[in-house]
Amino acid sequence: HPRVRRQRQMCIRDRYIDYAKGFFMSHIIPTPLFEKTDETKRVFIKSLSLDERNVNGSVKDDFYDFIRKLKLPVGNDVVVSFTHDFSLENEEYRLEVNEKITVYSSGEAGKVFALQTLKQLLFEYGRTIPFIAIKDKPKYKIRGFMLDVGRYFYPVDDVKLFIRKMSLHKLNFLHLHLTEDQGWRVEIYKYPLLTQIGSVRKKTNFNHRQHKGYYTKAQIKSIVKYAHDFGISVMPEFDIPGHSRSALACYNYLGCFERNLPVADHWGVKHDVLCAGKESTYKFVEDIVDELCELFPDKYFHIGGDEVPKHRWHLCPHCQAMMKKLGLNNEDELQCCFMNRINDYCAGKNKQAFMWSWDLKDDKLLSENLGFTKCGDINTGGRPFIDTSSKAYYIDLPYGYISLKDTANHKLYDGNCLGAEATLWTEYVPDMKKADKMTYPRLGAMCETVWRGENSYEQFHNKLDYYYSYLDKNRIGYSKLYFANPNRVLGFLQRIWFEKRQLTWEGLSNILDDLKVKYIAKKNSNL
Ligand code: ACM
Ligand code: ZN
């Protein structure tokens, strides 16, 4: 189409002018470490294919899908070849476009990233690509995306789509938040009620319809395999001892007072949590960890630890006896010991465990080898952590709280920082359409930062038009700029819409509930 061609030429001329001024700006996101373009020489591609002996089926399909979107025929005019280069690091790659197209890597991940870069070059230049040499590798080891499938269940095909979208951004770490107050999402052979009962919530925040779903073991395996095909490892999260109402609804002995409570059907921090005093709780937790470790072979394992009100533990004879036995001063210390014990169990299975840094006030007793997903401004000590800043990377929050500018300007630290993770909590994200609106363009800014090690809104803004058009081509939804960097009025409205979550009876029912449990505790102690 002549208009498209004209735009493309404009684009190339713009690049040339920038280059002449010494401001060469590549549009590839995330920006490669090193790129050299010779605009005077070009390869014309009539049709394109991959040397298929060297790539797995998922990556091949993803690549061919995209070039079909570009209307570039799959064929043998130019064949992308792959060369093994031992001198490169695991995720490093080189991509050379001249008369031929060659990918150099030492592993599978490098190939995936090289092909993602090539997709962007084909998008930007069409069939006539200038000679380019790219040498690239990421700054941070963990570049993650967390999907909360607990609040809303996302079917297998959706999760695979998330994986492909992650790969587009050269992310390598999928964190699956699998258990929540509002739903248990993974089949466990030893405790069948977890999915029979625990995967169903009576209503959601949006409507009064039932919502349910879970992954069978076979489905989990297919998700993990698919992620691995794209060089992405998977960390399951089993959120304990809080956020466990779906488990308590199935096995009430896991709670301090064996109350019969339904799976939670509304947002809020629940006061009923796993009992930290009974050995039966630890047996349950270890059984679950065992079955999850069989499904998730990668190194990392998340054990939650966020938002654990201590109301029940304070009154529970089992918890109080445990505190006495361990010589602890308060319930926060009891949580430290709970987390440490599960962390030790995970370590025994060769896993690096993580917990949320969220709200433990007294964490002196917490093991130093227990990693943090760090969402607040907290001192992590010497422990390894993944930056999940709730001021930059909580991408479910309205743009009125976290604008694109905030995400792009967020700085990462060296040292014990393993990388960063964008977290998509799904209280208000029922489907992919809404997920896309919240995730993009913020994920583009975040992937720039964690791949390159630095970023700023000014730099990212230079690429934004290109990024939006690339998302369009990939049929990924997003929020437009006026919405992603809202003015004061719009930002206020976005926050109000979100905060309607506060308009519930939760606070009042918590008070009544606490009184009820106080009465039970008193009655029991008088027996
Ligand atoms: C969290 O935000 N509940 C980790
Ligand atoms: Zn207890």
**Tens-digit pLDDT profile for residues 235-256:** 999 999 999 999 999 999 999 9
CA of 501 to the centre of ligand 2 (A): 29
Instruction: Return the amino acid letter for 204.
Output: T
CA of 93 to the centre of ligand 2 (A): 52
Q: Which two tokens stand for residue 297?
A: 């072979």
- Spell out where 330-416 has E strands: 352-356, 371-374, 385-387
Which atom of ligand 1 is the closest one to the Cα of 307?
3
Given a cut of 60, whether residue 491 has pLDDT beyond it is: yes
CA of 358 to the centre of ligand 1 (A): 6
Task: Tell me the pLDDT of the chain averaged across its residues.
Answer: 93
CA of 312 to the centre of ligand 2 (A): 7
Instruction: Return the amino acid letter for 483.
Output: F
CA of 278 to the centre of ligand 2 (A): 7
- Residue 26 pLDDT level (bands cut at 50, 70, 90): low
Which residues sit with Cβ closer than 5 angstroms to ligand 2, an ion?
Answer: 256, 275, 277, 316, 318-319
- Residue 6 pLDDT level (bands cut at 50, 70, 90): very low
Given a cut of 90, whether residue 14 has pLDDT beyond it is: no
CA of 311 to the centre of ligand 2 (A): 10
Given a cut of 60, whether residue 18 has pLDDT beyond it is: no
Percentage of residues in the chain having pLDDT higher than 70: 94
Q: Quick one: which H or E segment has residue 102? A: strand 101-105
Ligand found nearest the CA of 315: 2
Burial profile 379-416: b = 16 or more Cβ within 10 angstroms, e = fewer: ebeebbbbbbbbebbbbbbbbbbbbbbbbbbbebeeee
Question: Model confidence over 353-402: pLDDT tens digits?
Answer: 999 996 667 788 999 999 999 998 888 888 999 999 999 999 999 999 99
Give the length of the chain: 527
More confident residue, 9 or 72: 72
Query: Using CA positions, which residue lies closest to atom 1 of ligand 1?
Result: 306
Query: Using CA positions, which residue lies closest to atom 3 of ligand 1?
Result: 306
Q: Which two tokens stand for residue 206?
A: 């949006």
Which atom of ligand 1 is the closest one to the Cα of 390?
2
More confident residue, 10 or 125: 125
Q: Which residues are near ligand 1 (CB < 6 Å)?
A: 306-307, 356, 358, 375
* pLDDT at residue 22, as a whole number: 45
CA of 1 to the centre of ligand 2 (A): 69
Given a cut of 50, whether residue 421 has pLDDT beyond it is: yes
Ligand found nearest the CA of 394: 1
Ligand found nearest the CA of 237: 1
Q: How many C-beta atoms lie closer than 10 Å to residue 282's C-beta? A: 17
Instruction: List beta partners, residue 142.
Output: 419
Which atom of ligand 1 is the closest one to the Cα of 304?
4
* pLDDT at residue 475, as a whole number: 97
Taking alpha carbons only, the member of 189, 283, 288 closest to residue 239 is 288
Which atom of ligand 1 is the closest one to the Cα of 394?
2
Q: Quick one: which H or E segment has residue 42? A: strand 34-44
Question: Model confidence over 109-147: pLDDT tens digits?
Answer: 999 999 999 999 999 999 999 999 999 999 999 999 999
Question: Model confidence over 314-344: pLDDT tens digits?
Answer: 999 999 999 999 999 999 999 999 999 999 9
Ligand found nearest the CA of 521: 2
Given a cut of 50, whether residue 1 has pLDDT beyond it is: no
Given a cut of 50, whether residue 158 has pLDDT beyond it is: yes
Q: Which two tokens stand for residue 383?
A: 């422990």
Ligand found nearest the CA of 390: 1
CA of 304 to the centre of ligand 1 (A): 8
Q: Quick one: which H or E segment has residue 300? A: strand 300-304
More confident residue, 377 or 20: 377
